[in-house]
A = this chain, B = another copy of it.
Amino acid sequence: MIKQALLGILCGAAVLTVGILIGHYGIEKSSDSSPSWVKDVAKDVDEDLIQQFMSEVDNIEIQENLRELTKVPHMATTAGDEVTVQFMLKRWQDPENGLDAAWREEYKVYLSFPDPDNPNKVTVANTVLHTVREKEKTYTPDQDDPAVVQPYAAYSPAGNPKGKLVYANQGKPSDYDHLNQTTDLRGTIAIVRYGGAGRGAKAINAAPYGVIGVLVYTDPLDINDGLMSDVNETYPHSWYLPPSGVERGSFNSDFGDLLTPYLAAKEETYRIPTENITGIPPIPIQPIGFEDAYILICELGGGAAPNDWQGGFNCTYNYGGPGFKPTSAFNNSDVKMDIFNHETTTNSSNVMGVIRGSVEPDRYVIYGNHRDSWVHGAIDPSSGTSVMLEITRVLGRMVKQGEESRGERRSASFCFELDGSSSCPSLAGKWRPRRSIIFGSWGAEEFGLIGSAEYTEDYFTKLSERTVAYINVDIAVFANATLRVSGMPSMQNVIFQATKQVSAPGLSSTSVYNNWIRAGSDYAAFVHYLGITSMDMSYTYDRSKTNARIYPAYHTAYDTFDYASKFIDPGFTSHQAVARTAGNILIRLADSLVLPLNYADYAESLERYLEVAVNLYEEQLHARNISMEPLKLAVASFRRAADHLNQVIQSSDLPNQSPLMVRKINDQLMLLDRAFLNPLAFPDKYAFRHVIWASSSAGRPTFPGLADAFANADWEKAHYHVSVLSQAIDGAANILTDVI
């Protein structure tokens, strides 16, 4: 009985234990368990998903995107541009693989066009001895499209200057100055080659010397590695520029709509009087092909120009008498320019698309490229647009698939419209990014980065408060040799991380540049005006194989699908590698728990700048009682703060911390660059506010404002910039440190 009782107790105890175990582990505790969002807020980037994304990126899809985009010329605001707007909208609104939402935004912007009924003309002599070709020679049917715009210089004034021709090298101030020593330039027409100075600057620099018109051409030495013949050397036989090829372009110096500085160019927006526009040519200027430039330059009289003014023609480049040689058939002839360009304000569209973030919808990663081209723009910009469309196709599908399987497709857009902040169901299906992703297909970039600049003006505060980073892929593939990424130093790490995962030719020699001196593409407004961490990416040349200053068909009628698919990236694998790399970085920026930005790399850049500045300037500044100590202290304090923050990130168990503590760190990382903005530091440089990356004419790898002030021996301004920089870098360090 005792045994039985003991057994009973034992059994009972065992049963009780089993019961306790079942009760404790077997039954979900509904009342005590964590809210559903606890897991969501701690979620980090999913490496499998990145792999899946990369495997789905398809080179043939990119090729077909390009074929579609380049069917017709799509210069900004033309009928062809509208075709691309509709194409982007159709793709981004596609129910199978589109985005959550897509729409167009219009700005009424100031553009400059030639007159189709009165084409610009350049002729030699009063009784015409030579007429410069009005349109490029055609090799394929698409180049015959009547929508191919005549080569012209946007924002060149109309006019009919006539005068003796001179050769002024690249049209730099020093070139005109040199020429002026021996030649009276008053009343002359100057011919200059591309390179060395901005397009518009070639005319702006000329006017003070009395030059009344400028011709500009691309020298075969600068673009074609010297080759000139379309019989067997240039396109359609190679990637080189045919003799009649002409680089079009915008000849203004600032970015954004010229009539609405700092204001979004809407219908009723205040516009400055056109006579107040600065930075555009004061005299007519017209680009021509080297076929015609050859005829003009080789007939020039006067003395021989210096060695470094000589180009690829098989003749001596003379200064010009002014005018032609006495032995030339053109002797005593003038060159006459008849320029009929006109300006107009007209609507240009950005196409916008979004994938709404699930956990932090009010944090944006922006990915953009312009849509407008000069002619067919297969490389510039449609290579980038094709890549963007492939990225959105794959990401869009991942988002839509999730919804589909859960029958939530309708609710996503429904929530999006209504404000998903509070009442929306979780939209997480197969995938939804932690942060929101915004795609921008900018309009009218070719006229001066207009679409992206207007966008940043329109949404200044919102973008400034919420944007994590901006990724720009304009010309995705200049050449298929190697990947080049330019970016803020804080992005170096995530760029390396992504490139290591993409296998493609040339990727081993990836080079990352930390420099944003030139306002070359749509990242300009994001970097300089908004202070948003940005990068720009492309496949590019093997510099041991070509000296071309850019791909030869740039801004000409030859930048077509045929050219791109035959000579730039046959098979589209370089396009694919760019799409994989850019998408990889995009997903990391959108999904990482802690933003993959590293300010120790930024500190390194500042230290390098400081070292150069100290070496070049300290002695002379010290002699004028200007101390560089505050700048040294600021850089040191930035370094300490950056290292400290890295250490905090590494030593913390962030997935288990309050999401507000993680957000605190992410805000430090996101907003850091805003501290470098000073809207008053560069009163003469439109929209340049970032005191580290602003443009500089001094050409020194150091702080731009200080370098320029020093170059001009303006000691008040040099001292001012030391203070501006110290305060900005101290301010940035304050963002990275935790002390109030």
Of B16, B260, B360, B423, which one neighbours A16 at CB under 8 angstroms?
Answer: B16
Known: A19-B16, A23-B22, A630-B268. A648 touches B29 (CB 8 A): no
A477 to B364, CA, bound (A): 47
Name A624-681 residues within 8 Å CB distance of B. Answer: 627, 629-630, 644, 648, 651-654, 656-661, 663-665, 667-668, 671, 674-675, 677-680
For A721-732 the 0/1 string (1 means CB < 8 A from B) is 011101100111
Which of A36-44, A199-207, A390-398, A556-564 has 4 or more CB atoms under 8 Å from chain B? A36-44
Chain B residues, CB < 8 A from A40:
658
Query: In this assembly, does A104 line the interface, its C-beta being within 8 Å of a C-beta of chain B?
Result: no
Query: Interface with B: A58-66, A88-96, A459-467, which one?
Result: A459-467
Q: State A40–B32 Cα separation when bound (angstroms).
A: 15
- Chain B residues in 8 Å Cβ range of A731: 458-462
Report the bound CA distance from A184 to B34 in whole Å: 84
In whole angstroms, how far apart are the Cα atoms of A266 and B633 in the complex? Answer: 13
B27 touches A29 (CB 8 A): no
Taking CB atoms and an 8 Å cut-off, the chain A residues in 665-720 that contact chain B are 665, 667-668, 671, 674-675, 677-680, 716, 719-720
Hey, which chain B residues are within 8 Å of A732, CB to CB? 461
Q: 1/0 per residue A404-425: CB within 8 Å of B? A: 0000000000001101111100
Q: Which of A499-548 contact B (CB under 8 A)?
A: none
**Is A438 interfacial (CB-CB < 8 Å)?**
yes
In the complex, whether A190 has a CB less than 8 A from a CB of chain B is no
- A23-B23, A270-B722, A664-B362 known; A734-B462 Cβ under 8 A: yes
- Report the minimum CB–CB distance from A185 to chain B (whole Å): 37
CB-nearest residue of chain B to A724: B263
Q: Flag A343-382 by CB within 8 Å of B: 1 or 0 each.
A: 0000000001010100111101000000000000000000
Cα–Cα distance between A740 and B8 once the two chains are bound (Å):
69
Q: Tell me whether A19 and B23 are in contact (CB under 8 A).
A: yes
CB proximity of A41 to chain B, nearest CB, Å: 6
Question: SS class of chain A's interface: helix, strand, loop or mixed?
Answer: helix
A679 to B683, CA, bound (A): 12
Taken residue by residue from 14 to 52, chain A's Cβ proximity to chain B (1 for < 8 Å, 0 otherwise) reads as: 011111111111010100111101101100000000000
B727 close to A268 (CB less than 8 A): no
Q: Find A660's partner among B41, B264, B266, B674 (CB 8 Å cutoff).
A: B41
Q: Which residues of B contact A56 (CB under 8 A)?
A: none
Instruction: Say how far A432's CB is from chain B's closest CB, in angstroms.
Output: 14
Q: How many residues on A have C-beta within 8 angstroms of the other chain's C-beta atoms?
A: 102
Q: Is residue A737 within 8 Å, beta carbon to beta carbon, of the partner chain?
A: yes
Out of B23, B658, B719, B735, name the residue touching A20 (CB < 8 Å). Answer: B23
Q: Which residues of B contact A421 (CB under 8 A)?
A: 648, 652, 661, 664-665, 738
Task: Assess the B23–A671 pair: CB atoms within 8 A.
Answer: no
**Chain B residues closer than 8 Å to A724, beta-carbon distance:** 263
Copies in the complex: 2
A243 to chain B, nearest CB (A): 48
A269 within 8 A of B: yes
Q: Chain B's nearest CB lies how many Å from the CB of A364?
A: 7
- A20's nearest neighbour on chain B, judged by CB, is B23
Q: How far is the CA of A477 from the CA of B16 in the complex (A)?
A: 71
Cα–Cα, bound, A207→B536 (Å): 57
Q: Which residues in B have their C-beta under 8 angstroms from that of A653?
A: 422
Interface: A550 (CB within 8 A): no
Known: A270-B722, A674-B461. A32 touches B33 (CB 8 A): yes
- Asked if A116 lies at the interface with its beta carbon under 8 angstroms from chain B, I say no
Does A11 count as interface, using CB distance less than 8 angstroms? yes
User: Assuming the A-B contacts A35-B38, A462-B734, A740-B354, are A660 and B663 also in contact, with contact meaning beta carbons closer than 8 angstroms in the complex?
Assistant: yes
Residues on B with beta carbons closer than 8 Å to the beta carbon of A648 = 419, 421-423
Query: In angstroms, how far is the closest chain B Cβ from the Cβ of A191?
Result: 40
| Chain B residue, CB-CB nearest to A27 | B24
> Which chain B residue shows the least CB distance to A362?
B664
A740 & B438 in contact (Cβ 8 Å cutoff): yes
A659 B659 Cβ-Cβ under 8 A: yes
- The reply to whether the CB of A250 lies closer than 8 angstroms to some CB of chain B is no
A325 to chain B, nearest CB (A): 53
CB neighbours (8 Å) of A29 from chain B are 24, 29, 32-33
Q: Is the pair B723, A263 in contact by a Cβ cutoff of 8 Å?
A: yes
> Could you show 26 A-B contacts with beta carbons less than 8 Å apart?
A15-B19, A18-B19, A20-B20, A20-B23, A20-B27, A23-B23, A263-B724, A263-B727, A268-B629, A268-B630, A268-B723, A270-B716, A352-B740, A360-B660, A362-B667, A416-B739, A417-B739, A421-B648, A423-B651, A458-B731, A461-B675, A461-B677, A461-B732, A464-B674, A465-B671, A679-B680
Q: Top 5 closest A-B pairs, CB basis? A: A19-B19, A23-B23, A422-B652, A20-B23, A23-B24
Known contacts A34-B38, A464-B674; 13 further A-B pairs (Cβ under 8 A): A34-B35, A41-B660, A264-B727, A356-B740, A362-B667, A421-B738, A422-B648, A458-B730, A458-B731, A462-B675, A462-B734, A465-B674, A659-B659
